[in-house]
Every structure is written in structure tokens, then in C-alpha cells.
Structure 1
Amino acid sequence: MSDPCMKMVLVTPEIPFNTGAIGRTCVALDLELILIKPYGFSLDEKSVRRAGTDYWKHVHLTEYDSWQNFLETRKPPRDGLYYFEEHGAQSVFTPDYQADAYLVFGCESSGLPSTILDGNEDRVFSLPMRNPLVRSLNLANVATAVVYQAMRTQLSG
């Protein structure tokens, strides 16, 4: 992966099916999947492999013990981090994503912790939902929609 490439970052994922499905998307798009511990499951669970089907072995996977460990090790530039939350003030359609962007998603039950979001409010984006009856969308669906939107801005830029 010598060219700049977007990365999907899952912070403390809880549902193995979502992680497996996102891993499959990463394989399809040749993206790195970064997982931040702790997880709500074991990566060797059948359900992770089942959701990723036989592609899981091809996932370019990097794991970190904590968000702080990720920041210290990877040293991502602040403007290369894009956080996605249900109540983000900006739409996913707003930014021109960097070619080496880190697309950061939180866990299914509570999203990204405030310790990550505090001071980064200008970097928080949401996927629009028109019907107020829907409280949230599936993480794998959101991550897939976001990465394709981010890639679209690269193709049109």
C-alpha cells in the first residue's frame, strides 16, 4: 500500500457481523481496516468470518490496544481524521476527503466516546436520515455509504 489510501477505523466494535461486513468492504476496495480494542467479541469467532465470508483472510488488518496507542503509533494528522456520529453537525457530503483519510466509527451501542470527540467537533459528520422514526442505522451500512462517498470525492476532485 504505497499510494495514499483511505482507512476504516472501528473504535471498540461490539457486533462481529458488522466488523466482518466492513472487513469485506475493505477487501473489495483495497483499504486497511484498523480496529481499536477492546472488542465485544473475539476476532476468531465464526460470526466475524461468516460476515466477511472467505474474504476475512485477505483483510489488511491492524489492531491497537487503545485510541491513545493508535494516535501515538500512527500519528494521523488532525485534518486526516473524519469522525462519524449519528448527531454530527455536518453531513458526510460536506468534506473533500483526503486520499489517506482515516474514517473513524464508534461502537454500535454508544458511538464514539466524548474523550475522542471533544475538541474535534469540526471533524464530526453524520449520514442524513429523513425519517425521525429511525434512531440509527446499521454500522456496516453507514461505513459502506461513507467510504463510497469519500471515494467519490476523490474521483471527482
Structure 2
Amino acid sequence: MTSIVLVEPEIPGNTGAIGRTCVALDMELILIHPLGFDISDKRVKRSGLDYWRHIRLVEFASWDAFIGERAPRVDQMFLFEEYAPRSFYEPDYPADAYLVFGQETKGLPSGIVEAHRDQLVKLPMRSDKVRSLNLANTVTAAAYQALQGRF
């Protein structure tokens, strides 16, 4: 099963919308703490609508806890960063991929980026006037790309 991993997300509405995408695509949602909101926040559930109860949600206290418990293979990990050297169109995503996203305002912590440089990908943009897309939009685009050919 493909999993969406949010590392220290800050905006409850984005997490709720991403949860809805996970339900629609039968993906697991993994949240890495600390979160910038309380998971019971009404804004999370409002964005996820009545789908929130169907989310396969897993939480980890830290990135290290996630890595320690899940022990993902190198070929499973795809870390999304705006300055990554390759497009998210390039990889062949395995069915058990982890699509990893950082905070809305800061991206992934530098230690995680350094440790996984070869797994960095980005959503290409044609305009230089936009630095990045909304996290929920980025996750949705990435999720559909990772599932290409599996419908």
C-alpha cells in the first residue's frame, strides 16, 4: 500500500484535505510529530469532511521513530522538495511507496534531506512566479502520479 507521510504538518486544513485524498486512493496517512495543531481540531475534520473516520491513520512521535519501526527500503522513499534535482514524473513508484512531505512553511528538515538526497523529487512548474504549490494540492498530484497505471 502506498503511504503519504507528513513530517510535522502545520495547517490542519491541509492535513484534513490530504486525509480525504488518502481515503479516495486507499492510501495510509502517516503523521510525524510534532504537529502544528491538535489532531482532534475541528478544522482537520472539517477539511476531511465525514471521511476522516475512514482514514488509515498512523502517528509517530518523530522521524527517527518512523524510520526505526517501518525501516523503509531506499527504493520506497520519495521525498518531495521544491529544489529537488529530478521531476516526480521520472521514478517508477513501487506499490508500497512512501511519499514524504515536509512542513508547509519550511519543507523537510535539513537532516532528513541530507540523509535522503537521492530520493528527492519535485513537482515541476513552468512559471518562475510561483515558489511552491499548496501542500494538499502537491500531495494529491504526487499520489495520482505514484498510482499511475494501477487503476
SS at 2:100 equivalent: strand
Q: Displacement, 1:122?
A: 1.5
Unaligned 5+ runs, structure 1? none
SS at 2:59 equivalent: strand
Whether 1:74 and 2:70 are equivalent positions in the alignment is yes
Whether 1:100 and 2:96 are equivalent positions in the alignment is yes
Q: Displacement, 1:8?
A: 0.3
Count of matched residue pairs:
151
**Percent identity between the two aligned chains:** 55
SS at 1:93 equivalent: coil
What is the TM-score when the length of structure 2 is the normalising length? 0.97
Taking the TM superposition and a 5 Å limit, the aligned residue runs for 1:1-157 are 5-152=1-148, 154-155=149-150
Q: Displacement, 1:121?
A: 1.5
In the alignment, the residues of structure 2 paired with residue 18 and residue 51 of structure 1 have an alpha-carbon distance, to the nearest angstrom, of: 7
What is the TM-score when the length of structure 1 is the normalising length? 0.94
Unaligned 5+ runs, structure 2? none
Amino acid corresponding to residue 137 of structure 1 in structure 2: L
In the alignment, the residues of structure 2 paired with residue 155 and residue 33 of structure 1 have an alpha-carbon distance, to the nearest angstrom, of: 19
Instruction: After the TM superposition, list the runs of 4 or more consecutive aligned residues in structure 1 that deviate by more than 2 angstroms.
Output: none
The RMSD of aligned alpha carbons is: 1.1
